[in-house]
């Protein structure tokens, strides 16, 4: 019976991590529902981007208040998790503070964890205040109702609880407090528990210890269901981000094939399709569903943590239009999830009569975009909502001829007289003599 | 005004130093034509050996591409590239950031690789080479704010060339609250120029003009014919016509010298 704790701990760990890996596999599968795109070039620049933007948080601090607070939580999160290593060893082998043999260095580590824990706690409380008391507008846009709003709050509560448990665990560890080394914060918390007996302190310590590790495992598994995946995906997302100038939009290869054929004087317009290709469905132009997007765009959707910086700088959103770049990402993710679940239930995708366009994203949103790249520039982890908007416009125009009437006129003009307005191409140089 | 065409040049067996890509707005829009002429006056004064395509120029395809009509864009691009390559064009300058961006970034993959410059970049090199001088003239001491065109700024990271030129005019350059990478769009990009805005509660150009007006400028400078139109409309909509002018940087330089 004396090993029951270790046994329970091992089961908890295996289930916690196993379930997480299962979801990671699903995540990978869902991202790979997207079309292929080659982002294996310019590797040096890609590493550099990842170090600078994801690890170095260079784009976060453009907004100094939330930027600095975020860095505190981020650094705290990464460093305090070293403590998890000790917890896992202790849990599996029934030891207690196994790393304390390191003496002074151990005290230094724990002391820094404690200080970071307080800083994280304060930062997270400020985050909550910014959301719920100051009510910063970007947290209250229309897409932030219901689960997205609660999701953000759950994450904040989680972090508050985990940090508190860590401090309580140290405070009620009577032996650790007696050493009075490495407890710069918990010694004050310990005062709260002074009145209790040794046994009660021990019970609280054990409970906090268990809840702390269980909490971490629950949080780990909550990631996949929340907006919080960015703590992992920010790294590949910045690595695989677009490195070309933001103004350079892709030249659609499917279209290129058609255009080359059209402009080739040797093309026989009346030729029958080559043998065996008669029944081939021609590739779709643009995107009407998530499977028409590429995997980087789908990864973008999973990476988005709904901070809303993009939407807060979007000229269309600021002037009351339907478009919100954040909502474009959220809707894309919702639809990928739906397609993924459909595959899980049916073994393969079973037509559900829905698609990203119309059922999630309305043309009105797409037509409000000025392609100004403010959202792309603003995203702290290089998400590109504009590329999705453009791909969907391509579908609307090239597959459905569903452009707004004025744009149809513009395009007809470009086609007929080489200018968006109805002027004769032969008059192009008239300005010279006017 | 001396405006040779590539065809004329070729007939004489000459190859100009640079092709001036005028663009549709620069060719047809009454307001933008003034920018075109101002730029040509500077080129003439600096004795730059340039030519235009004239009637052989056609829309780059930018508005079609941003509207989603990739097919039309690529057909425009291929046609233009055929003309440009036919004349063995190496270097292109344009006063339109949309043409600039499209030719510079999107044409190479389709077979058209050129050195492409925005006119503010080109003017900056002329200045550095001592081929032009910039003096404040009638603008001396004026307050000028510069509105960053999205397709020049964020899209291509050109922020300094236009500002350096403005500062040479002996004026006070004042920045808007949102400038450079954070600049707010004028509302014309992504083919919005050619359609009514979607339903909303305000016009983007009015919001941007209000930001410009906050700096109490005498002049709002731009480097894009579409931004120019949007800001000019914004100045009218906010009843500031009497006190604020919207001018392109080429116009500032040409007008300062009374060219």
**Would you place residue B62 in the very low, low, confident or very high pLDDT band (cuts 50, 70, 90)?**
very high
Q: What pLDDT, on a 0 to 100 scale, did the predictor assign at position A270?
A: 78
Distance separating alpha carbons of residues A326 and A179, to the nearest angstrom: 51
- Per-residue pLDDT at B172 exceeds 70: yes
- Per-residue pLDDT at A356 exceeds 80: yes
Interface check for B154 against chain A (CB to CB < 8 A): the answer is: yes
Nearest-by-Cβ selection for A411 from B57, B67, B200: B67
- DSSP type of residue B113: -
Average per-residue pLDDT in chain B?
A: 97
- Per-residue pLDDT at A131 exceeds 80: yes
- Per-residue pLDDT at A274 exceeds 90: no
| Interface probe, candidates A258, A288, A319, chain B, greatest B C-beta count within 10 A | A319
* Interval A154-167 mean pLDDT: 96
* Interval A149-171 mean pLDDT: 96
Instruction: Check if the beta carbon of residue A429 is closer than 8 Å to that of residue B54.
Output: yes
Share of chain A above pLDDT 90, in %: 87
* B177-219 confidence digits (pLDDT tens): 999 999 999 999 999 999 999 999 999 999 999 999 999 999 9
User: Which residue, among B90, B199, B63, has the nearest Cα to A322 in the 3D structure?
Assistant: B199
Instruction: Please list the helix, strand and coil fractions of chain B in percent, rounded to the nearest 5, in that order.
Output: 50, 10, 40
State whether A321 and B69 contact (CB < 8 Å).
Answer: no
Q: Which residues of A touch B50 (CB under 8 A)?
A: none
Q: How close B140 comes to chain A (CA, Å)?
A: 29
Share of chain A above pLDDT 70, in %: 99
Interface check for A284 against chain B (CB to CB < 8 A): the answer is: no
Q: What pLDDT, on a 0 to 100 scale, did the predictor assign at position A17?
A: 96
Interface check for B224 against chain A (CB to CB < 8 A): the answer is: no
Distance separating alpha carbons of residues A186 and A45, to the nearest angstrom: 44
Distance separating alpha carbons of residues B225 and B231, to the nearest angstrom: 10
Q: What pLDDT, on a 0 to 100 scale, did the predictor assign at position A1?
A: 56
Distance separating alpha carbons of residues A370 and B197, to the nearest angstrom: 10
Q: What pLDDT, on a 0 to 100 scale, did the predictor assign at position A398?
A: 96
Distance separating alpha carbons of residues B40 and B53, to the nearest angstrom: 14
| Interface probe, candidates B190, B201, B225, B226, chain A, greatest A C-beta count within 10 A | B190
State whether A319 and B203 contact (CB < 8 Å).
Answer: yes
B219-222 and B172-174 beta bridge pairing:
unpaired
* Interval B19-33 mean pLDDT: 98
Instruction: Please state, in angstroms and as integers, the Cα–Cα distance from residue B178 to each residue in A61, A209, A374, B207, B213, following that order.
Output: 16, 49, 11, 12, 13
* Interval A179-186 mean pLDDT: 92
With a CB cutoff of 8 Å and minimum separation 6, the contacts of A32 are A295
Q: What are phi and psi of A221, to 5 degrees?
A: -80, -20
Domains belonging to chain A, first-starting first, are 42-239 (1.20.950), 253-425 (1.10.1060.10)
Q: What are phi and psi of B222, to 5 degrees?
A: -135, 175
Q: What pLDDT, on a 0 to 100 scale, did the predictor assign at position A371?
A: 98
Average per-residue pLDDT in chain A?
A: 94
* A184-223 confidence digits (pLDDT tens): 999 999 999 989 999 999 999 999 999 999 999 999 999 9
With H, G, I as helix, E, B as strand and everything else as coil, classify residue B246.
strand
Domains belonging to chain B, first-starting first, are 6-127 (3.40.50), 133-256 (3.40.50)
Nearest-by-Cβ selection for B27 from A320, A369, A431: A431
* Interval A114-133 mean pLDDT: 97
State whether A425 and B55 contact (CB < 8 Å).
Answer: yes
Task: Please name the residue ranges forming H helices in chain B.
Answer: 6-11, 23-28, 30-45, 62-67, 70-86, 97-101, 119-128, 160-167, 204-214, 225-237, 249-256
* Interval A55-62 mean pLDDT: 95
| Interface probe, candidates B38, B198, B225, chain A, greatest A C-beta count within 10 A | B198
Distance separating alpha carbons of residues B162 and B175, to the nearest angstrom: 13
Nearest-by-Cβ selection for A247 from B72, B75, B151: B151
- Per-residue pLDDT at B153 exceeds 70: yes
Q: Which residues of A touch B70 (CB under 8 A)?
A: 251-252, 255, 285-286, 394, 398
State whether B24 and A395 contact (CB < 8 Å).
Answer: no
Distance separating alpha carbons of residues B157 and B46, to the nearest angstrom: 27
**Would you place residue B163 in the very low, low, confident or very high pLDDT band (cuts 50, 70, 90)?**
very high
Q: Chain centroid to CA B193: how far?
A: 15
Distance separating alpha carbons of residues A150 and A383, to the nearest angstrom: 23
- Per-residue pLDDT at A277 exceeds 80: no
């Amino acid at each position: 019976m004396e090993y029951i704790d270790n046994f329970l701990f091992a089961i908890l760990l295996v289930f916690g991590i196993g379930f997480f890996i299962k979801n990671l596999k699903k995540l990978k599968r869902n991202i790979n529902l997207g079309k292929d795109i080659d982002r294996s070039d310019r590797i040096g620049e890609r590493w550099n981007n990842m170090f600078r933007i994801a690890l170095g948080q260079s784009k976060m601090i453009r907004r100094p208040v939330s930027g600095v607070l975020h860095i505190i939580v981020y650094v705290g999160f990464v460093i305090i998790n070293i403590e998890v290593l000790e917890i896992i060893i202790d849990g599996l082998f029934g030891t207690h503070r196994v790393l304390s043999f390191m003496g002074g260095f151990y005290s230094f580590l724990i002391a820094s964890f404690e200080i970071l824990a307080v800083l994280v706690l304060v930062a997270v409380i400020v985050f909550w205040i910014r959301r719920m008391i100051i009510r910063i507008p970007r947290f209250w846009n229309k897409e932030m109702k219901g689960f997205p709003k609660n999701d953000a709050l759950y994450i904040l509560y989680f972090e508050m609880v985990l940090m508190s448990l860590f401090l309580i665990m140290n405070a009620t560890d009577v032996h650790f407090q007696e050493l009075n080394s490495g407890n710069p914060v918990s010694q004050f918390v310990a005062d709260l528990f002074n009145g209790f007996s040794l046994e009660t302190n021990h019970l609280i310590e054990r409970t906090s210890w268990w809840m702390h590790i269980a909490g971490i495992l629950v949080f780990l598994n909550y990631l996949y269901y929340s907006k919080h995946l960015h703590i992992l995906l920010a790294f590949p997302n910045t690595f695989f981000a677009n490195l070309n100038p933001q103004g350079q939009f892709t030249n659609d290869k499917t279209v290129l094939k058609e255009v080359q054929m059209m402009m080739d004087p040797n093309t026989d317009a009346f030729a029958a399709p080559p043998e065996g290709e008669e029944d081939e469905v021609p590739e779709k132009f643009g995107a009407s569903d998530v499977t028409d997007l590429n995997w980087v765009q789908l990864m973008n959707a999973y990476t988005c943590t709904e901070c809303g910086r993009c939407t807060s700088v979007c000229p269309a959103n600021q002037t009351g239009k339907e478009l919100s770049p954040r909502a474009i990402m959220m809707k894309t993710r919702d639809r990928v999830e739906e397609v993924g679940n459909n595959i899980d239930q049916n073994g393969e995708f079973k037509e559900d009569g829905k698609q990203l366009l119309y059922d999630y994203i309305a043309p009105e949103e797409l037509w409000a975009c000025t392609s100004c790249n403010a959202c792309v520039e603003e995203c702290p982890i290089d998400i590109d909502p504009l590329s999705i908007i453009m791909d969907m416009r391509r579908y609307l125009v090239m597959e459905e001829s569903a452009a707004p009437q004025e744009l149809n006129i513009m395009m007809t003009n470009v086609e007929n007289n080489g200018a968006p307005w109805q002027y004769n191409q032969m008059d192009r140089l008239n300005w010279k003599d006017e | 005004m001396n405006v040779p065409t590539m065809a004329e040049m070729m007939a004489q067996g000459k190859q100009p130093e640079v092709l001036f890509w005028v663009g549709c707005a620069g060719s047809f829009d009454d307001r933008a034509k003034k920018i075109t002429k101002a730029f040509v006056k500077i080129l003439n004064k600096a004795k730059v050996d340039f030519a235009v395509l004239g009637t052989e120029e056609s829309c780059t395809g930018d508005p079609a591409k941003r509207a989603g009509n990739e097919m039309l864009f690529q057909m425009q691009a291929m046609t233009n590239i055929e003309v440009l390559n036919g004349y063995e064009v190496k270097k292109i300058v344009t006063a339109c950031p949309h043409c600039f961006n499209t030719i510079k970034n999107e044409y190479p993959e389709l077979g058209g690789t050129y050195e492409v410059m925005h006119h503010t970049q080109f003017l900056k090199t002329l200045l550095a080479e001592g081929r032009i001088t910039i003096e404040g003239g009638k603008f001396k001491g004026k307050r000028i704010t510069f509105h960053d065109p999205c397709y020049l700024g964020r899209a291509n990271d050109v922020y300094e060339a236009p500002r350096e030129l403005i500062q040479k005019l002996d004026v006070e350059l004042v920045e808007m609250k949102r400038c450079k990478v954070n600049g707010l769009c004028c509302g014309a990009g992504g083919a919005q120029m050619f359609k009514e805005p979607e339903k909303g509660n305000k016009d983007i150009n009015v919001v941007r003009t209000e930001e410009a007006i906050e700096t109490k400028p005498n002049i709002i400078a731009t480097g894009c014919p579409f931004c120019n139109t949007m800001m000019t409309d914004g100045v009218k909509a906010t009843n500031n016509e009497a006190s604020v002018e919207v001018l392109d940087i080429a116009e500032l330089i040409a007008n300062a010298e009374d060219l």
